[in-house]
Amino acid sequence: MTVPVRSLHFADAREAEDLSAFLARLIHYDRAAAVRLQAGGGALAVFGRPPSFEVLAIRTARLDHPVELDVTVSAGELLESFGDGAEFTVPAPVTGPPWAGLLPPRGGWRKLPGLPEVSAMRAAVSAAVSEFRTRDEALPAERRTRAERDRIGREIWSRTVGGTGLPLRAVHAAQSLGFLRPGVPVALLSAGSWLRLRTPFGSIAVRINGLGGLSLTPQQPA
């Protein structure tokens, strides 16, 4: 979609800082990252897909006036457009990656039970990272291939959390992007084939039947 370049203003400068940090983390994992921006009324949602996690990361912020917007842009260009205050410029559109056309629904979410405490989820991620390292180091030289490491990663990060169907990779992504912080309230929501881990700092959404074939070799927690 072609949209005119425009300046937008956040309702709260702190939310601009949080969104800047989110974009910086996405770029850390993928220097060519794209994000899809959707704004309706006075709210902005930014969708990104960090490589290796097979999830969508979502960060929202309030705008100081109603705006209608739906465009995919470069995460790096968007980050560079942020000024010192609460203003930013929407960059020129880019050709969106396939995931940008497969966003979770806006409504119809229901809360699911069974999500462990944040401390337990963070501990599960740490244990999984340690397990991956141990199993990777134990591989003989002739089997230390990308395919074998991906197989191990897929086995570990596809495990579900507690009594839910949420894959551990979604929790790993939430922690790596700074969403899953000690003591914060979290919720697990469901809508159709989507699950969503919601925190005050952002959400991670994942389709139960998968988002397509990126590698599952884990990134290190931030």
- Comma-separated ranges of CATH 3.10.150 domains in the chain: 7-101
Is 79 a residue whose pLDDT tops 60? yes
| Range 23-40 burial, b when 16+ CB lie within 10 A, else e | bebbbebeeebbbbbbbe
Other CB atoms closer than 10 Å to residue 178's CB: what's the count? 17
For 175-194, the DSSP string reads HHTT---TT---EEEEETTE
- The percentage of the chain sitting over the pLDDT mark of 70, rounded to a whole number, equals 91
Quickly state the pLDDT bin for 28 (edges 50, 70, 90).
Answer: very high
What does pLDDT average to over the chain?
88
Q: Within 13 Å and on the Cβ side, how many CA atoms surround 187? A: 8
152 is written with which tokens? Answer: 């191990």
The pLDDT assigned to 86 comes to 79
Quickly state the pLDDT bin for 5 (edges 50, 70, 90).
Answer: very low
Its pTM surpasses 0.75: yes
Beta strands in 28-81 (DSSP E): 34-40, 43-48, 56-62, 69-74
At residue 133, what is the residue type? R
Beta bridge partners of 160: 167
The pLDDT assigned to 84 comes to 66
144 is written with which tokens? Answer: 């230390």
The pLDDT assigned to 206 comes to 95
Taking only the tens place, the pLDDT of each residue in 166-202 is: 999 999 999 999 999 998 999 999 999 999 999 999 9
Q: Which CATH architecture is the domain 7-101 placed in?
A: Roll (3.10)
Q: Which residue has the higher pLDDT, 86 or 66?
A: 66
The residue-averaged pLDDT of 77-97 equals 86
Residue for token digits 């199993």?
A: 135
